[in-house]
Structure 1
Amino acid sequence: MPYITVTALSHPGLVRDHNEDSLAVGPWTLCGTMTENPQTLGFPLGNPLVVAVADGIGGQPGGEVASGLVVRRLAALGPSLDSEQAVHDALNACNQAVYEAAERDPELTTMGTTVAGVVLLGKEVLVFNVGDSRVLGVGLGGVNGALRRLSVDDSPPPAPGRRTTSIVTQALGGALRFTAITPHVSTSPLVGGERFLVCSDGLTDPVPEETLAEVLAAHDGGRAVFELWKAAIDAGGPDNVTLALITVVADD
């Protein structure tokens, strides 16, 4: 019977004094803390399974509060996320919840977070994001680990000579007054043996996609996640690093 494995890791990096990233894998959440080693979970393929990474906006208060709130809500809603409309509704509800939480506590004013993830169904995968956290599709065996960017960055083009930008054009929360969002949600067929990488920009900003592809072509599971994290650390670890590698294990 086909099943899903998810290997995840969250780490503050080498520069930030705390972790503002949060993670949901099915009903399991990790909010604003760190894992010592990659953790692997297995799930049957069939019922909706949500895997999401939320990256609290740095330089503003309560980033870890916003990201934790969002992944806990998505984890709770996970079994009902069976369509693009359901994911749209869930993300809009998360956005509303972040603003309402900020209104209740003046110290959290303007807190916000990005989010990116997938919902794995029996024969389809829903990909979603708001902000610049990413979902990457990893080529099947024999495709040299080619990566496909499945999410849509909400950020302006980088300045000439630069590969990335730290600016986001929409997020969940993040403003003084409620601002509606336009989530990116798409549907693709689910193929046995396919892999997906969900991550915060603490991985994709310092590590070029070519390096990500090389690591994923050479490794799988916990070793792949460790080597991806190590690549971010070797590049200076300038931000929190959170990633989840999802593998659809086909029938034998």
Structure 2
Amino acid sequence: MTLKLRSTGATDRGLIRSGNQDAFHAGTWLVAVADGMGGMAAGDLASSIAMQAVTPLDLATPEDALVAALRGGIELATGRIRRAVEEDPDRQGMGTTLTALLFARTGSCLALAHVGDSRAYLFREGVLKQITRDDTFVQMLVDQGMITPEQASSHPRRAVVTQALQGGEVSPAYATMVPWAGDRWLLCSDGLSNVVSADTLTEVLTDHPDREECARRLIDLALRAGGPDNITVVVADIVAED
């Protein structure tokens, strides 16, 4: 038996925004979510550039090359975003989050790359754990002990990111993990995580084994909570196959 990655994704512009600046990829080896910022057209462009830069990584990769592959994808995205801003000064300030998970061809390892405030959660044996750390002003306040995580969830500046892919220097977080059969990964933009609680996420991931149904239900709950932002969800299961 070999472990495989099986994924699906869905996105919705929400109930307030006029367009959708999110982008996602749900593939055989790679899953990723990007949330653009910096004006309508520029946000669209930034997230699209990031996704186009990492999508070619969706292939069988040796486990010792996972992090290097993700790092190369982010460097490519950074360079392309920088050139896009140079071509049109009106794009100054555009950027995008990126959270990406790359699964090894052996099924024995996976790597995660993250910058911004989109999130990756691991749902393992009934327990949901946020794996990524938000690159946000309020997370910095939490880390410094100035506010609690509960206060952060309703803080007026919770949407202020401290770093994103904007064409300049950036310090993404990278991690490697050993997958287990039965693991379920949730990657999402803050249009979901800002309005749907972790307890509710756990409940939905538990009650909806079908990935597509699960993704649709999560988006529906974000819409019912007001849908103030674009909502993007990728659900990926680690399954044992012959």
Flag whether TM exceeds 0.5 (same fold): yes
Say if 1:117 and 1:134, in contact at 8 Å, map to a contact too.
Answer: no
Comparing both chains, which one has the higher relative contact order based on Cα–Cα distances under 8 Å and sequence gaps of 6 or more?
Answer: 2
CA distance in 1, matches of 2:4, 2:57: 21
Q: Deviations over 1:136-194 (max 9, x none)?
A: 00123xx3xx2111112101226854415101000000xxxx52001111000011111
Aligned to 2:180, what secondary structure does the other structure show?
coil
Say if 1:196 and 1:247, in contact at 8 Å, map to a contact too.
Answer: yes
Q: Give the one of 202, 215, 226 matched to 1:213.
A: 202
Change in 2 beyond 3 A, CA 1:23/1:250: same
Gaps spanning 5+ residues in structure 2: where? Answer: 142-146
> Which TM-score applies when normalising by structure 2?
0.85
CA distance in 1, matches of 2:116, 2:32: 13
Aligned to 2:46, what secondary structure does the other structure show?
helix
Matched, 1:96 2:73: no
Q: What's 2:222 paired with?
A: 232
Moved more, 80-89 or 120-129: 80-89
Matched, 1:157 2:138: yes
Q: Deviations over 1:169-222 (max 9, x none)?
A: 00000xxxx520011110000111111001100000011111111111111212
CA distance in 1, matches of 2:36, 2:97: 6
Q: How many residues align?
A: 223
CA distance in 2, matches of 1:12, 1:229: 10
Partner amino acid, structure 1, of 2:165: L
Percent identity over the alignment is 32
CA distance in 2, matches of 1:73, 1:93: 6
| Displacement after TM superposition at 1:7 (Å) | 1.6
Q: Give the one of 32, 36, 56 matched to 1:56.
A: 36
| Displacement after TM superposition at 1:240 (Å) | 0.2
Mapping of residues 135-174 of structure 1, within 5 Å: 135-140=120-125, 143=126, 146-157=127-138, 161-164=151-154, 165-173=158-166
Change in 2 beyond 3 A, CA 1:209/1:91: same
Say if 1:61 and 1:107, in contact at 8 Å, map to a contact too.
Answer: no
Change in 2 beyond 3 A, CA 1:102/1:169: same
> RMSD of the TM alignment (CA)?
2.0
Partner amino acid, structure 2, of 1:169: T
Choose between structure 1 and 2: higher helix proportion: 2
Q: Deviations over 1:31-60 (max 9, x none)?
A: xxxxxxxxxxxx4xxxxx111110001547
Change in 2 beyond 3 A, CA 1:189/1:162: closer
> Which TM-score applies when normalising by structure 1?
0.82
Partner amino acid, structure 1, of 2:8: T
